[in-house]
Amino acid sequence: MARLDDRTREVVFRTEGLTKTYDTGEVQVHALAGVDLELYGSELTVLLGPSGSGKSTLLNILGGLDRPSGGRFWFREKELTNASDRQLTRYRRDHVGFVFQFYNLVPSLNARENVQLVTDVAKRPMKPAEALDLVGLSHRMDHFPAQMSGGEQQRVAIARAIAKRPDVLLCDEPTGALDSHTGTQVLATLQRINDEFGTTTAVITHNAAIRLMAHRVIRFQDGRIDRIEENDSRLAATEIHW
Amino acid sequence: MHAMDLKLFRDFRRLWVQGVAIALVLAAGIAVIIMSVGMSRALNETRSAYYESNRFAHVFASARRAPDSLLSQLRDIEGVAQVETQVRSYAILDIPGRAKPATGLLISRPELGEPLLNVPLLRRGRWPENAGETVVNEPFAEANGFVPGDTISVNLNGRKRGVTITGTALSPEFVYTIGPGALMPQNETFGILWMQAEVLDAGFGMAGAFNTVALTVLPRTPLEPVKDAVKALLDPYGAATPVGRDAQQSNAFLDAEIQSLEVLAWVLPPVFLGITVFLVNMVMGRIVQLERSEIGLMKAVGYTNWEIGLHYLMLAALIAFLGVGIGWGVGSWLAQAMSKLYAKYFDFPFLVFGVPLSIYALSAMLGLAATSAGALNSAMRAARLAPAVAMAPPAPPNFHGSTLDRLADLLRLGQPTRMILRSLLRWPLRAGMTLLGMALAVSVLVASNFFPDAMEEIIDTAFYQSNRQDMLLLFDPDAPETALEEVRRLPGVLQVEPQQYHAARLIYGPYEKQVPVSSVADAADLARVVDGDGQVITPDPFGILLSDRLALALHVGVGDTLTVSFESGRRETFEVPVTGIVTQFFGLGAYFAHDTLNSMFRQSPRVSIVNVTLANPQAAEAFQEWIKDVPRLTGTINMTENRISFTDTLSNNILVATTVYGILGMIITVGVAYNAARVQLSERARELACLRILGFGKGEVAYILAGEVLLLAVLAQPVGWVIGYGVARLMTEGFTSDLYAIPLVLEPATFAQASLIVLGAAVVSVALVARRLGRLDLIAVMKTRE
């Protein structure tokens, strides 16, 4: 099990006073109210917090899906605060892997082709079969989403996310739609990727049990970081139950 | 307002672009119904009213010279109600201050009282009271600016006589007034002159005799026996075969117009209504799918299945209201434009009645039926959905592998392309209907745009290949061939060529047609017979040459022996072999070689027509001034003017028609392509947003969205060409009558133009939808389940 010290101290993400305000007509919602944060290379971070605490908003901004209202943020040395649409698309294509709560597989493509969707446009991807093998689905490659269980679909989604060898893996409630047993399988997959490839991984959850597998746990409250905890002794995903 | 009604209107407002796109397709169908069904009804009713009030005859017959004593025998024919006899003759008119001569049809008025049948309606002035007066038909007066009191001179069998115009009139016999040999009304140079009987009796030696008879029959009297009896009575006096209304020239043109309106009504509206059904079906299907949870909720709070089903039917009905409203407006406008056109070409004493209200009601019902039929399936699905099922998200669409996969592997197709192809296979019916819809748009354009090409061919064949003369001089009765020499000596004349025309009955077994048989001069150069391929055909000296439509009507082929019964000269009957069949667009032509016809008539060579070419326009003027004084000349046809007016009229009408059909084609394409792309976007929004998150650019995502619709648009082209060819064929057959035929001329450019318009409209529609890709909410995708 990787120790905290194993992490390189390379700063992958840095934010400075990041704010995000949603204008919903009559009320203004401050989803992020000034976040200063650094995420390090090869680190597995769990972002914990109740609904509306700002964790998803932060992840969206880091993943290049949304823009901050104020503050600045960097991916490695590159500032992305004011990046154009085209630059953000490029950034997502080259560096970021996403895992969603609801898998978001393309129903008209089978498992292999869903992965291929990404490998076709990535710079130095692994083979789709290799990615599916990593998530333990080499025997289900020709199945379509409608022919797979939720856990399997989520693992295809992870394979799709990692197949391009992303620098960062951003997971929004990856086990939210799964039962405990299937959920741990998915977490184990994520942990394995993190261990083997050193992919910087951020996992959003409001399931506190998952914090036990993280290097660091960042707790959110009202759009701010409440506190950051470092795990001296991490559990393997398979040891986690809820 | 009920919450459900509010939802209805808000839903419609949200869907308005799609709603309008469908409503326009429906509106096109409704407009064509209003215009074609409405105007054919209106023409029919106007005509019936006119015929009824002015006692238009049922049977028309003519003879060379029949004694008045026959009148009582004609009246005694069983079933005959009224009989009217007249003297009629063509004559050259000299209009003061104008070089160009005109041709007049002189008609006698009874010495006492009013005409019984085909009663002319006095429009201005008074009827003639002495031999020096005449009433002319209104269009002729208007075209020449005549007012009562004006004087023109009439060549009465070689003697010129000045007559004073005392008034103008219209007659049910001349709703479509067309002179001998003309192709369309030329009111400036052809007029009807009603004169006192004594003038014609004296001028043409017809005292105590008549040469025209019209009859009406009692209700439910079969016409054939009456015609036969008339024929039998008149036969000794040089009768032509009596005809019914169907062969009366003016009425036949009206019939042809009504027929072509009916063809339009049968061909176009079903296409538009069919596409409406499909589009409503596609869009409503998607809406019900999207609103599953709302349907579940409505059911949970107590709405009945019926109320929910009705709710979706009503949503479709709103589209119908919009479409019918627009269709009524456009249809009324089109009908009005047609009325104006009819006012120009048809001489009715009153305005053509408007579109009957019942047609508006019928079209609205058809519109509502179309949208309801389209929405029915979805409405029933919504009604049948169990609440618990409705609240749960739908199962993901079930895709399977297929043999196509191997093909895709082989072709190394990318994933986006695979997504497009699998979607086509997953919903083959929808893909097929979308394709068919766009193919129909292509076909409408092909089927309408072939008209200009067809017309060009008609004009070319009729005016530049077959008839190359500047003028035709008509003689009645036929003149000795020395007339040819006399004309040749006139100033400015370059070429002359003789021609003969004789009325004849052609009989083959049970089939019979009455047509003018004409002669073709040896080595003819001015009046030739030219077939559809532009080849000059010379009649065989030992047989008859028939136009294809005449051969078809008589069921004869080359080699068959035809009975030709002439109705002039010695009125002899011959058995002649059909030696050739030629494709022709105007009339039902039958031809003999000139010398053959002379020998059949056992006469020294004669001419009915002298075809003339002139050196130059200056010569034409002098020539025209001169021919006003030629005795026995009964009419002239100025082919140069014919060409110009025909070409002008046609190119005008064609421009209008091509524009209208172009718009219709675009409406269909936009309706189909825009809605197909919108439904695609709605179904794939999540998928496409997800691809954007995964790093696909807008263009790549747009490819998937646009690809399917545009692929279908491309595949639709050849299908549309084939359907268009078929429709064009049907339309040419539908428009074909004894008067004319429209050739099926389809140039590659017609197909290309149709495809360009449809593909262009498809690209624009899809681009409009693709713009919405910029508004995809990438974040919502991660948070929500469809």
Give pLDDT tens digits for B230-249.
999 998 898 888 999 998 99
The three-state (H, E, C) secondary structure of B397-449, written as one string? CCCCCCHHHHHHHHCCCCHHHHHHHHHHHHCHHHHHHHHHHHHHHHHHHHHHH
Task: Quick: pLDDT tens for B318-328.
Answer: 999 999 999 99
Amino acid at B322: L
Q: Kindly determine whether residue B783 and residue A172, on different chains, have CB atoms separated by under 8 Å.
A: yes
Find the residue in B nearest to A96 (Cα). B694
Distance from CA of B415 to the nearest CA of A (A): 6
Say which of B401, B697, B700 has its CB closest to residue A110: B401
What is the structure's pLDDT at B581? 92
- Residue B194: pLDDT band (50, 70, 90) is very high
Q: Note whether A100 contacts B781, CB cutoff 8 Å.
A: yes
Q: Judge residue A27's burial from the number of C-beta atoms within 10 Å of its C-beta, 0-12 exposed, 13-18 middle, 19 or more buried.
A: exposed
pLDDT tens-digit map of B85-115: 999 999 989 998 888 888 999 999 988 888 9
Position A187 scores a pLDDT of 92
The answer to whether B211 and B60 are in contact (CB under 8 A) is no
Q: Which residue among A63, A86, A146 places its CB closest to the CB of B396?
A: A146
pLDDT digits (tens, 9 = 90+) for B711-753: 999 999 999 999 999 988 887 887 777 777 788 888 898 899 9
Neighbours of B245 (CB within 10 A): 17
Is residue B230 within 8 Å of residue B242, measured between CB atoms? Answer: yes
Q: How far is B421 from chain A (nearest CA, A)?
A: 9
Asked if A89 and B697 touch (Cβ cutoff 8 Å), the reply is: yes
Compute the distance between CA of residue B501 and CA of residue B515 in angstroms, rounded to an integer. Answer: 10
Nearest CB to A107 within list B399, B693, B783: B399
Note whether B174 and B104 are within 8 A (CB): no
So what's the pLDDT on residue A203?
95
Cα–Cα dist A31/A58, whole Å = 9
At B326 the pLDDT is 96
Residue-wise pLDDT for A61-78, tens only, equals 999 888 899 999 999 999
Nearest partner of B196 among B119, B117, B109, judged by Cα = B109
CA angle B244, B249, B253 (to 5 degrees): 110
Q: Identify the pLDDT of residue B388.
A: 65
Nearest CA in chain A to B396: A146
Closest Cβ opposite residue A100 in set B396, B422, B782: B782
Interface of A with B (CB under 8 A): 56, 60, 63, 65-66, 85-86, 89-90, 92-94, 96, 98, 100-102, 104, 106-110, 113-114, 116-118, 120-122, 142, 144-146, 160, 172, 177
A15 to chain B, minimum CA–CA distance in Å?
Answer: 20
Nearest 10 degrees: Cα torsion B465, B471, B476, B477? -70
Q: Do residue A106 and residue B700 have CB atoms under 8 angstroms apart?
A: no
Residues of chain B in contact with residue A90, where contact means CB-CB under 8 angstroms, are 695
Q: What is the pLDDT of residues B200-228, one digit of tens each?
A: 998 888 999 999 999 999 999 999 999 99
State the nearest Cα–Cα gap between B694 and chain A, in angstroms: 6
pLDDT at B497: 94
Q: Would you call A108 and B686 a contact, using CB atoms and an 8 Å cutoff?
A: no
**Of the candidates B423, B697, B778, which has its C-beta nearest A65's C-beta?**
B778
Alpha carbon of B398: minimum distance to chain A alpha carbons (Å): 6
Residue B711 to residues B399, B434, B441, B526, B762, Cα–Cα distance (Å): 20, 11, 16, 54, 10
The whole-number average pLDDT for the span B123-135 is 93
Mutate one of B688, B694, B776, B777 to test the A interface: name it (highest A CB count within 10 A).
Answer: B694
The structure tokens 């905890």 sit at A229
Q: pLDDT category, A222, cuts 50, 70, 90?
A: very high
* pLDDT at residue B786, rounded to an integer: 47
Instruction: Let me know if B783 is exposed, middle or buried by CB neighbors in 10 A (0-12, 13-18, 19+).
Output: middle
The half-sphere exposure of A16 on its side-chain side, counting CA atoms within 13 A, is 8
Picking from B459, B763, B660, B786, the residue whose alpha carbon sits closest to that of residue B32 is B660
B interface residues, A as partner, C-beta within 8 Å: 395-401, 414-416, 418-419, 422-423, 426, 686-687, 690-698, 700, 778-779, 781-785
pLDDT value at residue A3: 47
Placement of tokens 């797979």 in the chain: A148
- Give how far A234 is from chain B: nearest CA, Å: 28
Higher confidence at residue B156 or residue B532? B156
Q: What is the DSSP string of B731-778?
A: HHHHH--SSB-------HHHHHHHHHHHHHHHHHHHHHHHGGGGG--H
Contacts of B691 in chain A (CB under 8 A): 106, 117
Q: Which amino acid makes up residue A200?
A: T
Q: Give A2's pLDDT tier (boundaries 50, 70, 90).
A: very low
Element holding A12 (H helix, E strand): strand A11-23
Cβ contact B419–A110 (<8 Å)? no
What is the mean predicted confidence (pLDDT) over B144-159?
90
- Identify the pLDDT of residue B257: 86
B410: burial class by Cβ within 10 Å (0-12, 13-18, 19+)? Answer: exposed
Contacts of B416 in chain A (CB under 8 A): 117
Mean pLDDT, rounded, for B549-562: 93
What local confidence, expressed as pLDDT, does residue B772 receive? 85
What tens digit of pLDDT does each residue of B40-82 get? 888 888 899 999 999 999 999 999 899 999 999 999 999 999 9
As a whole number of angstroms, the distance between CA A15 and CA A32 comes to 12
At residue B781, the pLDDT reads 67
Q: Which residues of B touch A56 (CB under 8 A)?
A: 779, 782-783
CB contact under 8 A, A65 and B779: yes
Ordered DSSP codes for B135-202: EEEHHHHHHHT--TT-EEEEEETTEEEEEEEEEEEE-GGGSS---TT-SS--TTTEEEEEEEHHHHHH
C-alpha dihedral (B352, B357, B359, B361), degrees to nearest 10: 170
Measured CA to CA, the distance from residue B420 to residue B514 in angstroms comes to 63
Looking only at the bridges linking them, the beta strands covering B536-537 and B561-566 are unpaired
Q: How far apart are CA A173 and CA B207, in angstroms?
A: 112
> Which residue of chain B comes nearest to A91, CA vs CA?
B695
Which has more confidence, B395 or B143? B143
Across the interface, of A102, A108, A117, the residue whose CB is closest to B785 is: A102
In chain A, which residue's Cα lies nearest the Cα of B700? Answer: A121
Selecting from A102, A121, A144 the residue whose C-beta is nearest the C-beta of B696 gives A121
Q: Which of A62, A95, A108 to mutate to test the interface with B (most CBs of B within 10 A)?
A: A108
Residue A239 burial (C-beta neighbours within 10 Å; 0-12, 13-18, 19+):
exposed
The answer to whether the Cβ–Cβ distance between B418 and A93 falls below 8 Å is no
Closest CA–CA distance from residue A233 to any residue of chain B (Å): 31
The answer to whether the beta carbons of residues B416 and B626 sit under 8 Å apart is no
The larger pLDDT score, comparing residue B738 to residue A55, is at A55
Q: What is the pLDDT of residues A5-17, one digit of tens each?
A: 555 578 999 999 9
State how far residue A130 is from chain B, nearest Cα, in angstroms: 18
What is the percent of chain A with per-residue pLDDT over 90, rounded to a whole number?
45
Domain ranges across chain A: 4-237
b/e sequence B666-684, b meaning 16+ C-beta within 10 Å: bbbbbbbbbbbbbbbbbbb
Residue ranges of the domains in chain B? 93-199, 427-467+641-786, 493-614
Class of the CATH domain delimited by A4-237 = alpha beta
Compute the distance between CA of residue A119 and CA of residue B187 in angstroms, rounded to an integer: 78
Contact B415 A172 (CB under 8 A): no
| DSSP per position, B278-304 | HHHHHHHHHHHHHTHHHHHHHHHTT--
pLDDT confidence of residue B167 = 96
Tell me the pLDDT of chain A averaged across its residues.
88
- Smallest CA–CA distance from B786 into chain A, residue: A102
Residue A214 phi, psi dihedral angles, 5° rounding = -90, 155
Subunit contact B419:A109, Cβ cutoff 8 A:
yes
Average pLDDT over residues B662-690: 87
Measured in angstroms, the CA of A1 and the nearest CA of chain B are apart by 30
CB contact burial B515-525 (16+ within 10 A = b; e otherwise): bbbbbbbeebe
Say whether pLDDT at B134 is over 70: yes
Of residues B400, B694, B785, nearest to A98 (C-beta): B694
Residue with tokens 């003149």: B479
Question: How many A/B residue pairs have CB atoms within 8 Å?
Answer: 102
Which CATH class, in words, describes the domain spanning B493-614?
mainly beta
Which tokens is B647 given?
Answer: 């070409």
Q: What's the pLDDT band for B297 if we cut at 50, 70, 90?
A: confident
Which of A151, A147, A171 shows the shortest CA–CA distance to A161? A171
B280 pLDDT higher than 70: yes
ipTM of the complex: 0.73
Q: Which residues of A touch B393 (CB under 8 A)?
A: none
